Copies of this chain bind each other. A is one copy, B any other.
């Protein structure tokens, strides 16, 4: 408690001013900095290392489903964006446009991709001739740009990094299966790598992707009770196929339009993990994506054998595939403890002269701040500890989230629920008007449609027969 107060000086109070806590933490831990152009961010090495770990974990999962990576151009002819009616309506207002290049005015302005359905579908149309060419399963890791009015690092920036998968299939059913498969990949990744439990489900039409038939999302609860859309998977039907003439010769000898999907997650996920796990001391990063999993602090660093043993420990941990480092800087252990707690390193190990004498080392978990004495150089014990931290961070988040899902049968109850930092499940008639009324009166939006049956329920707004049960929350 006394120690926590020390941190309050540097980092805004997490309970009183969560937005400022977030900004303080991401800047002080050097995850990110503001770029010179409004709304842009620089992802600094400590933040980028999280992104690299996210990429590695997701990329393996994508490839296991048969997806391959490729790269499509950044600049899209403005006319392409216009080809799908809903799509242009959704994205045109926020694009950045290149009008001059190589010292000359361009004949047609080019937009920096806000997402790549248009240019990718145009290429797919060239590549697919027969059913033998399908499915096409391609992902790209890239930067995209959406000129947003209100920005916050990781959560909403004019440029961000993401992956966008784009697939085409011969049948509606296959495309729908793909949409669900990738949603499942995202859920598995969010829970088992980021230790963030997510609600997955279909979005309402109001919240769906511009140009999709159906959008499925995964929603994560942040510490302030707000929801963060952490990933989406879209079933695009034949909307883009028709706009871009994506046809193939089917087995029966007729030309047909393909069915496409797209799905993406972005550097937003870094914001999600900060706001799902942090505390007053700073970041708490789950081991799977932590840039440094184990920080070793030599105590009485200049005494004989301390640094050597600390380095030896680091070497055996690294050899076992653990991302470990020794902090050899000329500073007190106490200062280093604070520093690495703020940076959210999952496990800290102290090695001092007495520990070495006794063949022991002291390990501290960042998530619970619990300490445990381990045998010196016991790699398996460290591995087990990291696995426990990973598992228990998910469990703790899940318990927290589950205890904050409430039921409502009126707009007042929805308001009370979100004011109380909860996700609110409520019955809904299915009409846009009622959805908008809820937003106006509570600032909550429909996050995903629940699986529950709405039988016998009435809409929380209009009192008519309910069609769906929906999760409402205020959202990032």
A residues near B, CB below 8 A? Answer: 33, 35-37, 40-45, 47-49, 51-52, 68-77, 80, 93-103, 109-110, 112, 119, 122-123, 126-127, 138, 142-143, 145, 147-149, 158-159, 161
Chain B residue, CB-CB nearest to A102: B147
**Are A35 and B70 also in contact (CB < 8 A) when A99-B99, A102-B147, A142-B143 are?**
no
Which residues of the partner chain B approach A97 to less than 8 Å between Cβ atoms?
A: 98-101
A425 → B minimal CB distance (Å)? 36
Q: Which of A72, A93, A123 has its CB near the most chain B CB atoms (within 10 A)?
A: A72
Which residue among A43, A47, A102 has the maximum number of chain B CB atoms within 10 Å of its CB? A102
CA distance A68 to B126 in the complex (A): 39
Tell me the complex Cα distance, A122–B98, Å.
24
Question: Is the CB–CB distance between A48 and B68 below 8 Å?
Answer: yes
The distance from the CB of A314 to the nearest CB of chain B, in whole angstroms, is: 15
- Shortest 7 CB-CB distances between A and B: which pairs? A102-B147, A45-B68, A96-B101, A43-B71, A40-B73, A35-B73, A101-B147
For A102, the chain B residues whose CB sits under 8 A away are 93-96, 147-149
Residues of B contacting A36 in the complex (Cβ-Cβ under 8 angstroms): 73, 76-77, 80, 119, 122
Q: Do A70 and B96 contact each other (CB < 8 Å), given the known contacts A80-B36, A110-B37?
A: no
Question: How distant is the Cα of A220 from the Cα of B109 in the complex, in angstroms?
Answer: 37
Which residues on B sit within 8 Å (CB–CB) of A161? 71
* Integer count of this chain's copies in the complex: 2
Question: Which residue of B has the minimal Cβ distance to A291?
Answer: B68
B68 touches A42 (CB 8 A): no
The chain B residue sitting closest to A43, CB to CB, is: B71
Which of chain B's residues have a CB closer than 8 A to the CB of A94? 102-103
Q: Contacts of A138 on B, CB cut-off 8 Å? A: 45
Q: How far is the CB of A91 from chain B (nearest CB, A)?
A: 11
Residue of B nearest to A144 (CB): B74
Known A68-B49, A159-B73, A159-B75; judge A100-B101 contact (CB<8 A): no
CB < 8 Å: which of B69, B112, B122 contacts A48?
B69
Measured between beta carbons, the chain B residues less than 8 angstroms from A35 are 72-73, 119, 123
A75 to B38, CA, bound (A): 11
Query: Could you tell me if A45 and B73 are in contact, using CB atoms closer than 8 angstroms?
Result: no
A143 to B147, CA, bound (A): 19
A94 nearest in chain B by CB position: B102
Q: Knowing A75-B96, A102-B149 are in contact, say whether A126-B37 is a contact too (CB < 8 A).
A: no
Is B96 touching A100 in the complex (CB atoms < 8 A)? yes
> A476 to chain B: closest CB distance in Å?
20
Bound together, the chains give a CA A76 to CA B35 distance in angstroms of 9
Cβ contact within 8 Å between A37 and B96: no
What are 16 inter-chain pairs, A to B, with CB distance below 8 A?
A33-B126, A35-B72, A35-B73, A35-B123, A40-B75, A42-B71, A42-B123, A43-B71, A45-B69, A45-B138, A48-B68, A48-B71, A52-B69, A73-B159, A98-B98, A101-B158
Chain B neighbourhood of A119, CB < 8 A: 35-36
Q: Which residues of B lie under 8 Å from residue A33 when comparing CB positions? A: 123, 126-127
Known: A37-B110, A45-B68, A101-B158. 11 other contacts (CB 8 A): A37-B77, A42-B73, A45-B70, A45-B138, A71-B161, A74-B145, A75-B159, A95-B101, A96-B98, A102-B147, A143-B143
Q: How far is the CA of A129 from the CA of B123 in the complex (A)?
A: 49
- Tell me the bound Cα distance from A44 to B127 in angstroms: 11
User: How far apart are A380's CB and chain B's nearest CB, in angstroms?
Assistant: 24
Minimum Cβ distance to chain B for residue A133 (Å): 11
Contacts of A41 in B (CB 8 A): 73
Contact B122 A75 (CB under 8 A): no
Closest CB in chain B relative to A123 CB, distance in Å = 6
User: How distant is the Cα of A42 from the Cα of B69 in the complex, in angstroms?
Assistant: 12
Chain B residues in 8 Å Cβ range of A45: 68-70, 138
* A254 smallest CB distance to B (angstroms): 21
- Closest-CB distance, A322 to chain B (whole angstroms): 16
Once the chains are docked, how many angstroms separate the CA of A460 from the CA of B161? 52
**Which chain B residue has the least Cβ–Cβ distance from A77?**
B36
Least CB distance from A344 to B in Å reads 17
